Chains A and B, each alone.
Chain A
């Protein structure tokens, strides 16, 4: 198998009329998906766009999946964008990839018009009806290799410049082949998708749906505010498998929805991307004693998820749910600061090796080389991805996540660099210095800043609101005359966080 499109090509023969992807504004069967994506591929060929990044800027929908696959049919790779992203980020992405073409829908038309991007913008509705050129698509396929890129997704960068994680068909195929047996995916699987399509997280639903002829429902985002309605939606659509960020599951439990309704169609609940409060996890397990609960862990740079743990016992509130063991064909190594493996049970940086590693950061050799390094213990070429996460291996042979080495946080399921928030804050006129801290007990981002006299807090707040996406916005702002420093001269985050937590108690 060379490209992920082969999953679709096998399935469309078996179940052409089955619904593949269903969203708020309709869905596509496998046959429709197959037609539309080949039309998009044929269009790209006709335009002479080949082996190039193609931006897909659309609302979450079945059509957006057809656009992704269409870009792959054209021998190109997709760069997904979303209206939820801040404008500065969208501009940075356009600068970083210089796309040949943008595929838009009606929703993104206006935003694109104000951005004045210097490339062709075409409507999905127009190009997905292009005449299909099968001989040309066959020629493109013959030239394809499995290490060709499939997509570039952008993730928060500590210097304010996002990193374009580039993944190949091969790493995606490897990931899906290992993930599906763990999730228990088959043709009866009905996914309820929560994650945005501009992150790698959505691969968990998109590609298995193609492989097995399953069905994915894109759950309307607004339902996550009203959890009883969310449960009713799950039951009404017969959704049996969900892979959500822990905070989405936690929200349902925290608001007491499981006491009012039971999502009785669910049989597999996978969660990850952040710590899941055990009290919420236990509420879920009590509500669905027959369901399988799976903890997933992995960085975008290793194409999705790398380790998994199937819950097989109860956890008390003070315990930590392990991140478990690596997927088959995935290697995990702990390394200390000297590049040695720490003694059993001791902390080390979690490093991942194997086919699952992505192709590095787009057009960014310096940051790629810093994160993807030669295994110091291998006398041959063996790349490791250094996650920046500290972990340890327990006496039970399972891996446990401990903490981050840097200032990256997970909030609402998103990977956020606190330093990026600071970078945005210090670009606001009047703001001289900023320090963001994360109160993980309350799941709140707090921003301390120093500003020139006369800088109104409301103006700073308004500027942050305009610049940052919802999930990165500080919940509270505190102007200070000076920011405390460590003996090394850095801003003292620990003191600021302690100060914040103490002020909350009072």
Chain B
């Protein structure tokens, strides 16, 4: 599900290998708002503001780990 949300945002990105989404400016501030909203709506996980860090959003794996940790 998380992968689908990300793919809707940037269909051209291979999220299984990309680990520098923030560093390469693939994801911008409006994408973050979109992601936070979609993750809350579709996965029922609220991401608090202090978890919004470059490390947590740089890759699909990192974001997935965050969502699993917060959703647990």
Query: How far, in angstroms, from A257 to B47 measured CA to CA in the complex?
Result: 11
The CB with the most chain A CB atoms within 10 A, among B49, B50, B52, is that of B49
Q: Return the contact of A225 from the options B12, B28, B48 (Cβ within 8 A).
A: B28
Q: B33 and A228: CB pair below 8 A? A: no
Q: A461 and B12: CB pair below 8 A? A: yes
Query: How far, in angstroms, from A25 to B11 measured CA to CA in the complex?
Result: 34
Q: Is the interface of A mostly helix, strand, loop or mixed?
A: helix
Does A402 reach chain B (CB closer than 8 Å)?
no
Does B27 reach chain A (CB closer than 8 Å)?
yes
Q: B36 and A255: CB pair below 8 A? A: yes
Q: B30 and A412: CB pair below 8 A? A: yes
Q: Whole-angstrom distance from the CB of A137 to the nearest CB of chain B?
A: 40
Q: B28 and A260: CB pair below 8 A? A: no
Residues of A within 8 A of B49 (CB): 227-228, 255-257, 259-261
Which residues between 455 and 472 of chain A lie within 8 Å of chain B, taking CB atoms? 458, 461-462, 465, 470
Which residues between 18 and 75 of chain A lie within 8 Å of chain B, taking CB atoms? none
Query: How far, in angstroms, from A261 to B33 measured CA to CA in the complex?
Result: 18
Q: B27 and A225: CB pair below 8 A? A: yes
Residues of A within 8 A of B53 (CB): 226, 229
Does B63 reach chain A (CB closer than 8 Å)?
no
Given contacts A251-B29, A251-B33, A412-B30, contact A222 B22 (CB under 8 A): yes
Query: How far, in angstroms, from A229 to B52 measured CA to CA in the complex?
Result: 9
Tally of contact residues, B, Cβ under 8 A: 17
Q: B52 and A255: CB pair below 8 A? A: yes
Does B5 reach chain A (CB closer than 8 Å)?
no
Does B32 reach chain A (CB closer than 8 Å)?
yes
Q: B52 and A224: CB pair below 8 A? A: no
Q: A470 and B28: CB pair below 8 A? A: yes
Residues of B within 8 A of A229 (CB): 53
Given contacts A227-B52, A228-B50, A255-B49, contact A462 B29 (CB under 8 A): no
Query: How far, in angstroms, from A443 to B54 measured CA to CA in the complex?
Result: 24
Does A254 reach chain B (CB closer than 8 Å)?
yes
Query: How far, in angstroms, from A465 to B12 measured CA to CA in the complex?
Result: 10
Query: How far, in angstroms, from A259 to B32 measured CA to CA in the complex?
Result: 18
Which residues between 215 and 261 of chain A lie within 8 Å of chain B, taking CB atoms? 222, 224-229, 251, 254-257, 259-261
Which residues between 14 and 62 of chain B lie within 8 Å of chain A, taking CB atoms? 22, 27-30, 32-33, 36, 48-50, 52-54, 57
Residues of B within 8 A of A222 (CB): 22, 54
Question: What is the 8 Å Cβ interface bit string for chain A, positions 390-424, against chain B (1 contact, 0 not)?
Answer: 00000000000000000000001000000000000
Residues of B within 8 A of A259 (CB): 49
Q: A225 and B11: CB pair below 8 A? A: no
Query: How far, in angstroms, from A229 to B32 measured CA to CA in the complex?
Result: 14
Can you name the residue of chain A whose Cβ is closest to the Cβ of B30?
A412
Query: How far, in angstroms, from A226 to B29 measured CA to CA in the complex?
Result: 8
Query: How far, in angstroms, from A1 to B57 measured CA to CA in the complex?
Result: 51
Query: How far, in angstroms, from A462 to B29 measured CA to CA in the complex?
Result: 21
Q: Return the contact of B11 from the options A251, A257, A261, A461 (Cβ within 8 A).
A: A461
Residues of B within 8 A of A251 (CB): 29-30, 33
Q: A228 and B12: CB pair below 8 A? A: no
Q: Return the contact of A458 from the options B11, B32, B48 (Cβ within 8 A).
A: B11
Q: Whole-angstrom distance from the CB of B22 to the nearest CB of chain A?
A: 7
Residues of A within 8 A of B48 (CB): 256, 260
Query: How far, in angstroms, from A225 to B49 measured CA to CA in the complex?
Result: 10
Query: How far, in angstroms, from A261 to B50 measured CA to CA in the complex?
Result: 9
Residues of A within 8 A of B52 (CB): 225-228, 255, 257
Q: A255 and B33: CB pair below 8 A? A: yes
Given contacts A222-B22, A227-B49, A228-B49, contact A255 B32 (CB under 8 A): yes
Q: Whole-angstrom distance from the CB of B4 to the nearest CB of chain A?
A: 15
Can you name the residue of chain A whose Cβ is closest to the Cβ of B9?
A475
Q: Whole-angstrom distance from the CB of B45 to the nearest CB of chain A?
A: 14
Residues of B within 8 A of A470 (CB): 28
Can you name the residue of chain A whose Cβ is closest to the Cβ of B31?
A225
Query: How far, in angstroms, from A27 to B53 measured CA to CA in the complex?
Result: 26
Residues of B within 8 A of A461 (CB): 11-12
Residues of B within 8 A of A443 (CB): 30
Residues of B within 8 A of A254 (CB): 33
Residues of A within 8 A of B50 (CB): 228, 260-261
Q: B33 and A462: CB pair below 8 A? A: no
Q: Whole-angstrom distance from the CB of B27 to the nearest CB of chain A?
A: 7
Query: How far, in angstroms, from A284 to B54 measured CA to CA in the complex?
Result: 24
Q: Whole-angstrom distance from the CB of A428 to the nearest CB of chain B?
A: 15
Instruction: Please provide the 10 A-B residue pairs with the shortest distance between their CB atoms, ordered closest to farther.
Output: A257-B49, A256-B49, A225-B29, A260-B49, A224-B29, A260-B50, A228-B50, A226-B52, A228-B49, A225-B32
Could you list 12 examples of A-B contacts with CB < 8 Å? A224-B29, A225-B22, A226-B32, A226-B52, A226-B54, A227-B52, A228-B49, A228-B50, A251-B33, A458-B11, A461-B11, A470-B28
Give 5 new A-B contacts, CB below 8 A, not counting A225-B32, A261-B49.
A226-B32, A228-B49, A443-B30, A462-B12, A465-B12
